[in-house]
């Protein structure tokens, strides 16, 4: 009996220790330990003055950006694959053009659909065969085609952990996405070297949760938080219409979602 009581105490202590470690992770390692030193002060939205071409706009963050652009009355065309579900885009009155981002010729052809004033790319995947991921090759094709077509404005959604934000994401996600962030870093560097009027936005943990309206852009590369896709979309559209963001790389930071459990308590 004494052995059983001792064993139960040991098990209880281990459970408590595991709980403490879990809470510590949720609080410390998910971004709450660092508050950005500054944030970008947004200016009133100014339309790019012509049609906008969106890559990655059929779902998730890209679709949220398309919705917000259409809410502003923008003329939007989304590049889709032959197999893409375009119902949501049709409901929004969005034009589509078929192209595979991994095919440079098809991407160049997509730019002939109109005289576009700006490009938005959310192209990317979380994991998978690197040869089939558009994080580097697809975005490179888009950047090169935009430059060749004379489209100056380019908003690029990447991820915290890319470029000079390396090491900022929590350790588990940075390990899980190591291959992806390396590809996105290459794409960011290629965009910078292109001479285009770019804005790079790096979100942290993304989720299909309620928009808070408290998210901001910051140049603080140590900033990390979780963020709703709709909040990220609001930041992306705002940056597109804000010339002061040109030539900048930002982290998307929501002070009301500094820890992961804030993504589950809407």
What phi and psi values does residue 193 have, to the nearest 5 degrees? Answer: -80, -10
pTM greater than 0.85 (yes/no): yes
* CA dist 157 → 3, 57, 224 (Å): 58, 12, 15
Specify if 185 maps to a domain: yes
Coil vs helix vs strand at 12:
helix
| 69-114 pLDDT per residue, tens | 999 999 999 999 999 999 999 999 999 999 999 999 999 999 999 9
The pLDDT mean for the chain works out to 88
Tell me, what's the pLDDT at 260? 78
Tell me, what's the pLDDT at 169? 73
Task: Determine what percent of the chain is predicted with pLDDT higher than 70.
Answer: 81
Question: Which of the pair, 216 or 124, is modelled with greater confidence?
Answer: 216
pLDDT of 116 > 80? The answer is yes
Specify if 194 maps to a domain: yes
Tokens standing for 125?
A: 């995947």
Coil vs helix vs strand at 48:
coil
pLDDT of 121 > 80? The answer is yes
Nearest CA to 229 among 114, 66, 62, 56?
Answer: 62
Q: How far is CA 73 from the centre of its chain?
A: 23
Give the structural domain span for 134. 34-263
Q: Which of 76-85, 126-135, 190-199 has the lowest mean pLDDT?
A: 126-135
Coil vs helix vs strand at 19:
helix
pLDDT of 159 > 80? The answer is yes
Tokens standing for 10?
A: 């040991």
Specify if 223 maps to a domain: yes
**Do residues 162 and 247 make contact, with C-beta atoms less than 8 angstroms apart?**
no
Nearest CA to 151 among 110, 123, 183?
Answer: 110
Specify if 5 maps to a domain: no
The helix or strand, by DSSP H or E, that contains position 266, with its residue range, turns out to be none
Supply the DSSP symbol for 35. Answer: -
Coil vs helix vs strand at 176:
helix
pLDDT of 164 > 90? The answer is yes
Q: Is 129 left (phi over 0), alpha (psi -120 to 50) or beta?
A: beta
**In sequence order, what are the residues at sequence separation of 6 or more whose Cβ sits closer than 8 angstroms to the Cβ of residue 245?**
40, 199, 217, 239
* CA dist 94 → 58, 68, 85, 86, 197 (Å): 11, 12, 13, 9, 24
Tell me, what's the pLDDT at 16? 65
pLDDT of 130 > 90? The answer is no
Number of domains observed in the structure of the chain: 1
d(CA 66, CA 172): 31
Tell me, what's the pLDDT at 19? 58
Specify if 8 maps to a domain: no
**Do residues 171 and 29 make contact, with C-beta atoms less than 8 angstroms apart?**
yes
pLDDT of 198 > 70? The answer is yes
Give the CATH number, domain containing residue 55: 3.40.50.720
What mean pLDDT is predicted for residues 220-237?
96
d(CA 40, CA 250): 9
What mean pLDDT is predicted for residues 181-189?
95
Tell me, what's the pLDDT at 119? 98
Specify if 25 maps to a domain: no
Nearest CA to 189 among 222, 158, 218, 149?
Answer: 158
| 12-48 pLDDT per residue, tens | 666 665 555 555 555 555 555 788 989 999 999 999 9
Specify if 19 maps to a domain: no
Tell me, what's the pLDDT at 83? 94
Torsion of CA 189, 193, 197, 198, to 10 degrees: 0
pLDDT of 211 > 90? The answer is yes
d(CA 102, CA 255): 36
Question: Which of the pair, 164 or 3, is modelled with greater confidence?
Answer: 164
pLDDT of 247 > 90? The answer is yes
Specify if 3 maps to a domain: no
């Amino acid at each position: 009996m004494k052995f059983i009581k001792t064993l139960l105490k040991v098990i209880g202590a281990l459970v408590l220790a595991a709980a403490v470690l879990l809470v510590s992770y949720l609080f410390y390692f998910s971004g709450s330990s660092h508050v950005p030193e500054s944030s970008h002060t947004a200016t009133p939205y100014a339309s790019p003055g012509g049609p906008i071409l969106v890559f990655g706009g059929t779902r998730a963050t890209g679709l949220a950006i398309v919705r917000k652009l259409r809410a502003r009355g923008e003329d939007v065309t989304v590049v889709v694959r032959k197999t893409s579900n375009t119902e949501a885009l049709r409901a929004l009155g969005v034009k589509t053009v078929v192209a595979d981002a991994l095919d440079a010729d098809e991407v160049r052809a997509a730019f002939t659909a109109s005289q576009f004033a700006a490009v938005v790319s959310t192209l990317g995947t979380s994991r998978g065969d690197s040869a089939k991921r558009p994080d580097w090759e697809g975005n490179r094709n888009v950047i090169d085609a935009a430059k060749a077509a004379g489209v100056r404005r380019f908003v690029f959604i990447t991820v915290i952990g890319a470029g000079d934000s390396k090491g900022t994401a929590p350790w588990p996600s940075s390990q899980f996405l190591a291959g992806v962030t390396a590809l996105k870093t290459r794409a960011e560097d290629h965009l910078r070297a292109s001479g285009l009027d770019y804005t790079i936005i790096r979100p942290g943990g993304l989720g299909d949760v309620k928009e808070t309206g408290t998210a901001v852009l910051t140049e603080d590369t140590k900033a990390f938080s979780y963020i709703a896709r709709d909040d990220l979309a609001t930041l992306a559209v705002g940056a597109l219409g804000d010339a002061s963001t040109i030539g900048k790389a930002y982290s998307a930071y929501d002070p009301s979602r500094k820890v992961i459990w804030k993504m589950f308590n809407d």
